[in-house]
Amino acid sequence: MTGQYDLVVAGGGLVGSAFAALLADRCPDLSIAVVESRPFSGHYQDSEFDPRVVALTETSRQLLVQIGVWPAIAERRVAPYTHMSVWDADGTGFIEFDSSDVGALCLGHIVENSNIVGALQQRLQQLANIDWICPAKVAQVEQQNNQISIELDNSEQLSSTLLVAADGALSSVRDLCGFQLDDTPYGHSAIVATVRCQHPHSNTARQWFASDGPLAFLPLPEKHSISFVWSQREQKADELMALSDEEFCTQLTRASSACLGTVESVSKRFCFPLHQRHTSDYVQPGIALLGDAAHTIHPLAGQGVNLGFKDVIALVDELQRASQRGLPLGDMSVLGRYQRQRKPDNLATMLAMKGFKELFASDNLEVRLLRNEGMSLVNRMGLVKKQLVRQAMGL
Ligand SMILES: Cc1cc2nc3c(=O)[nH]c(=O)nc-3n(C[C@H](O)[C@H](O)[C@H](O)COP(=O)(O)OP(=O)(O)OC[C@H]3O[C@@H](n4cnc5c(N)ncnc54)[C@H](O)[C@@H]3O)c2cc1C
């Protein structure tokens, strides 16, 4: 049996679900299938914090408002942060931002991944023009005569004029369709978990840049709880993962200069090897890559999903326009416009992250002096700082 759709989305994670929900809402006449390999995660576990969180920019939050899921997300739990402090951990450089610098209520929100995905997947189930196919995996893709044939791992066959791959950093659709990928390991792994600190976090996001990698403390809704992302050279990360909880807390207290007092306890730790990945093209006739399937970047500025959400907005705009004009959705004249809008922005952010990582990894004395001076100088420059804050907020 073959299910015929206007469009199939591979991957119902953060980006794929947001894309499908926004498009289904804007174009109720389109029939859409979303294929997700992991079982439905709409049932949110609120007993413990999810170790995976994202720092959402205002642009990303607005997207979730448009889709209609922000109230449900906010009702569960989110942590708005009003202040951000950034240190050069090997020097004296310091810069701080406050939401009042730009007259905003907060700089962004820290939200658990499972909260966002759960709310989005629940929304997908309510939309009449979406078929939610889960758990199932896209296993084969064939392109012929402006039609895409998709075989799932449960042998079900789907067919559509456009396949949107939002199946994450290790996208199998990207590989099945032969997209050329530049995959460069950063040589870093990121350790993530939730910790409880002696002092309250005061709704402040904190980040330390050290030569062996950045450390971020992201405030959670409970005032002593922090989600951290600690990027370290791979061998050092393995050593930190092997420590007992008590020893790990001591190391983390030291790395954070005990700025929230002692780190008192840590949840189960997870470690992710970090890669910079970017495909030469985001589109082929009948296929479009979205989010991490097209680009993955170092989490040091917490921009991964925020870039993915900007891809969502751009592709939905193009498809809505095409649909109104009666153009085939998989046509390169439609998809090419999406690629032209998104590739420069993603590439620029990727290069900036690489530059940041290298700037702070440098042992060169002059570079270190310059970077310390630079940070402190920017901290005193009201207008430049204002512009930086607006950019970080995705405005
Ligand atoms: C340590 C760390 C910290 C981060 N912190 C931040 C942050 O603060 N802010 C930020 O913006 N970003 C952050 N990111 C990046 C962010 O997590 C990713 O950019 C985001 O998860 C990408 O979403 P996605 O939907 O593209 O991919 P994913 O979240 O990976 O979703 C892909 C989905 O596709 C499904 N799937 C896979 N293969 C198939 C298949 N063949 N068929 C069907 N379904 C399939 C998977 O089950 C999954 O649900 C961080 C990343 C890391 C590693």
Final residue in a domain of this structure, among 248, 274, 300: 274
Ligand 1 contact via 114 beta carbon (within 6 Å): no
By DSSP bridging, strand 287-289 and strand 283-284 are antiparallel
Verify that 248 and 194 share a domain, yes or no. yes
The three-state DSSP-derived secondary structure of 267-282 is CCCEEEEEEEEEECCC
Verify that 224 and 104 share a domain, yes or no. yes
Q: For a pocket test of ligand 1, which of 9, 19, 35, 37 has the largest count of ligand atoms closer than 8 A to its C-beta?
A: 37
Q: What pLDDT sits at residue 299?
A: 86
Alpha helices in 2-76, H assignment, sequence order: 14-26, 58-67, 70-76
CA of residue 372 to ligand 1 center, whole Å: 33
Q: Would you mind telling me the total number of residues written for the chain in this entry?
A: 395
Does 124 reside within a domain? Answer: yes
Range of the domain at 152: 2-68+113-183+276-357
Verify that 269 and 201 share a domain, yes or no. yes
Alpha helices in the chain, H assignment, sequence order: 14-26, 58-67, 70-76, 113-126, 172-176, 234-242, 245-255, 304-325, 332-361, 365-380, 382-392
Does 300 reside within a domain? Answer: yes
Domain tally for the chain?
Answer: 2
Verify that 214 and 352 share a domain, yes or no. no
CA of residue 168 to ligand 1 center, whole Å: 5
Does 203 reside within a domain? Answer: yes
Does 195 reside within a domain? Answer: yes
Does 363 reside within a domain? Answer: no
Taking a C-beta distance cutoff of 8 angstroms, is the pair 205, 392 a contact?
no
Q: What pLDDT sits at residue 381?
A: 63
Distances (CA, A) of 312 to 14, 168, 308, 319, 330: 10, 14, 6, 11, 16
d(CA 51, CA 235): 22
Looking at the DSSP bridge assignments, the partners of residue 277 are 183, 296
Verify that 119 and 243 share a domain, yes or no. no
Final residue in a domain of this structure, among 252, 274, 296: 274
Does 384 reside within a domain? Answer: no
Final residue in a domain of this structure, among 245, 274, 303: 274
d(CA 124, CA 132): 7
Tell me which residue has its CA closest to atom 29 in ligand 1: 13
User: For position 90, which CATH number holds?
Assistant: 3.30.9.10
CA 257 to chain CA centroid, nearest Å: 28
Q: Residues 292, 76, 61, 56: is their CA dihedral positive or negative?
A: negative
Verify that 224 and 321 share a domain, yes or no. no
Verify that 167 and 303 share a domain, yes or no. yes
Ligand 1 contact via 229 beta carbon (within 6 Å): yes
Tell me which residue has its CA closest to atom 3 in ligand 1: 299
Verify that 143 and 289 share a domain, yes or no. yes
Tell me which residue has its CA closest to atom 50 in ligand 1: 299
Other CB atoms within 10 A of residue 157 CB: 13
CA of residue 192 to ligand 1 center, whole Å: 15
Does 319 reside within a domain? Answer: yes
Ligand 1 contact via 318 beta carbon (within 6 Å): no
Taking a C-beta distance cutoff of 8 angstroms, is the pair 202, 84 a contact?
no
Does 37 reside within a domain? Answer: yes
Ligand 1 atom closest to 296 (CA):
19
Verify that 338 and 191 share a domain, yes or no. no
d(CA 157, CA 257): 56
What are the pLDDT tens digits along the chain (395 aa)? 569 999 999 999 999 999 999 999 999 999 999 999 998 766 666 778 899 999 999 999 999 999 999 999 999 999 999 998 988 877 777 888 889 888 889 999 999 999 999 999 999 999 999 999 999 999 999 998 889 999 999 999 999 999 999 999 999 999 999 999 999 998 999 999 999 999 999 999 999 988 888 899 999 999 999 999 999 999 999 999 999 999 999 999 999 999 999 999 999 999 999 999 999 999 999 999 999 999 999 888 778 999 999 999 999 999 999 999 999 999 999 999 999 999 999 998 887 767 666 766 666 666 666 666 666 666 666 666 666 667 667 66
Give the tokens for residue 52.
């995976």
Query: Strand 130-133's sheet: what is its strand order?
Result: 130-133, 32-35, 7-10, 162-165, 287-289, 283-284
Ligand 1 contact via 177 beta carbon (within 6 Å): no
Verify that 105 and 176 share a domain, yes or no. no
Residue type, 313: I
Ligand 1 contact via 80 beta carbon (within 6 Å): no
Verify that 192 and 341 share a domain, yes or no. no
Q: What pLDDT sits at residue 216?
A: 94
Q: Kindly report the pTM of this predicted structure.
A: 0.93
User: For position 53, which CATH number holds?
Assistant: 3.50.50.60
Ligand 1 contact via 36 beta carbon (within 6 Å): yes
Ligand 1 atom closest to 290 (CA):
26
Ligand 1 atom closest to 139 (CA):
41
Verify that 347 and 251 share a domain, yes or no. no
Q: What pLDDT sits at residue 212?
A: 85
Give the tokens for residue 43.
């049932």
